[in-house]
Structure 1
Amino acid sequence: MASRGVILFAVLGAFYLSGVQSGLVTRCKTEDTKCAKESAQAMIAPFAAGIPEYNVKTLDPVTFKRVDASSPNLKLILTDITITGLKDTIVKKVKRDKSKNKMFLKFVSSVQLEGNYEMKGQLLILSMEGKGPLHVTLRKAEFSVEVDIFDIEKDGKTYWDARDWKYSYALKDKSDVEFENLFDGNEDLANAAREIIKENGNEIIMEVGTPMIDATMKEVFADVKSMFHTLSADQLSLD
């Protein structure tokens, strides 16, 4: 239930920065998808570490003070969240369609989330409550992303403007979710719930992960827009 939005823009920003950090990667032509993929992969780790001169914040680790992941049947508040592992994202595909102002990406990531939770209500088929530490391990989550990219003019130069995005994802391996101190320490109730949670980590992520994803998307998307408005298009691509 963690940080897939950060992963998205780490890959997107890595591709667009593929000529700026010339000691690490080279710029690519639009039709050269092999170059784009290799350039993006080479930039994942330094991008995740942060590039302050291009308004790129540190993304590994990335932290959130509070995220409301509640649903109509469940109160779920996440606090003091730390996510690690984004630097190990694997890029599968990067393609830009200039005629349609689109960028298409596919990537796989595994991340670890540590934080705290407060929960009361229905999760899956269970009536749940608890407050305490939260641990999530997300393994091999594969994301397909579409981003709208437009040219804008500023001070006589062309810049890229990322205006919108949409994504889908699939969990390609088993995820682990652990809520400590369920039912205020009542072990009889907690043990039964833990067994179901242990066997249904992916289902839990799919059910309650969207608010965490969306919060991450909005924060990092704003940083990517700022970065694109700092660097002109000719610094980011060969064409």
Structure 2
Amino acid sequence: MGFCVNGVILLLTAAAATDAAKLPSNFGRCSKSDPKMPECLRANVEDAIQKLKDGSSELGLKRFEPLDIPELIIGEGKGPVNVVQHFKDVELYGLTGSKVQRVNFDFDKKEMHARSITPELRLQGQYSMKGRILLLPIVGSGPCNVTLINTKINHTLIAEPFEKKGRTYWSFKDYTVTLRPERVIFKFDNLFDGDSRLGDEINKVLNDNWDEVFTDVREGYEKSFGLIFHGLANRVFTRVALSDIFLE
């Protein structure tokens, strides 16, 4: 599965899909008429994320922990980050530790809004980049680790219904997120052809100024995470009928 939006390229692997699927029997369901539906949704979404740690053959989803992302490109910012960050063979850890704070469905508007907090989101893989950050030259390639701590995430999904074999499904035409981490920790190995002194100094500068650095490229990370979540959500909702997800 491939995506390209405004300089952000994401390739997300998933198991082969079939025409239709059933929600696993151990997944909770909520009734549309339940006055406590928002709390029911919150609990069930959080529970489902945890149950997808090892993936789901019924839904055609591979493991969530870690989630494999073959390639991810974050474009340069408009301020201090004058470098394209090119990541490959990324493993994303921490999604299944997310705590869902609220979930609301507006069935008339066909919108879903959710808020979650993830204690640790860690992107671990290979990087390459050449440019400037905070006016300092930076060049290197090798192992890297970008960790977002206590990240508050707002999710907004816009759905478009469609019919298949007499049943109604949802396809999300848009999925946007906002990311507000409490802190970001950067670790890029093998900077400047392995010069450990220069590499340690640059990593220290990045971490001492993490807010300024991350804020400048946050839009790229938000688009990337939005694409990740978009692909995963559509793999479920385009294959599982609404009547199998929500109790009438």
Q: After superposition, where does 1:216-231 map in structure 2 within 5 Å? A: 216-218=225-227, 220-231=229-240
The match for 1:140 is 150
Q: Which has the higher strand share?
A: 2
Paired AA for residue 100 in structure 1: K
User: Structure 1 residues 215 and 167, CA, compared in 2 at 3 Å: closer, same or farther?
Assistant: closer
Name the SS of the counterpart of 2:130 in structure 1.
strand
Deviations 1:102-149 (A, max 9, x none): 100000112222112111111233221122210122111111111112
Structure 2: gaps (5+ residues): 1-9, 11-20
Structure 1: gaps (5+ residues): 6-16
The match for 2:193 is 184
Q: Please give the TM-score of this superposition, normalised by the length of structure 1.
A: 0.81
Answer yes or no: is the 8 Å Cα contact 2:104–2:112 preserved in 1. yes
The match for 1:236 is 245
Asked if 1:113 corresponds to 2:123, the answer is yes
Asked if 1:21 corresponds to 2:54, the answer is no
- Paired with 1:141 and 1:215, the residues of 2 have a C-alpha distance of 15
State the structure with bigger RCO (CA 8 A, min sep 6), 1 or 2. 1
Shift of 1:216: 4.8
Report the number of matched residues.
222
User: Structure 1 residues 223 and 168, CA, compared in 2 at 3 Å: closer, same or farther?
Assistant: closer
Answer yes or no: is the 8 Å Cα contact 1:67–1:211 preserved in 2. no
Q: Please give the TM-score of this superposition, normalised by the length of structure 2.
A: 0.78
Answer yes or no: is the 8 Å Cα contact 1:108–1:142 preserved in 2. yes
Deviations 1:2-38 (A, max 9, x none): xxx9xxxxxxxxxxx9x93343423232651111111
The match for 2:216 is 207
Q: Which has the higher helix share?
A: 1
Shift of 1:211: 4.1
Answer yes or no: is the 8 Å Cα contact 2:179–2:218 preserved in 1. no
Shift of 1:209: 5.2
Match of 1:54 among 37, 52, 59: 59
Identity, in percent, stands at 23
The match for 1:42 is 47
The match for 1:125 is 135
After TM superposition, which residue ranges in structure 1, 4 or more long, deviate above 6 angstroms? Answer: none
- Paired with 1:189 and 1:219, the residues of 2 have a C-alpha distance of 34
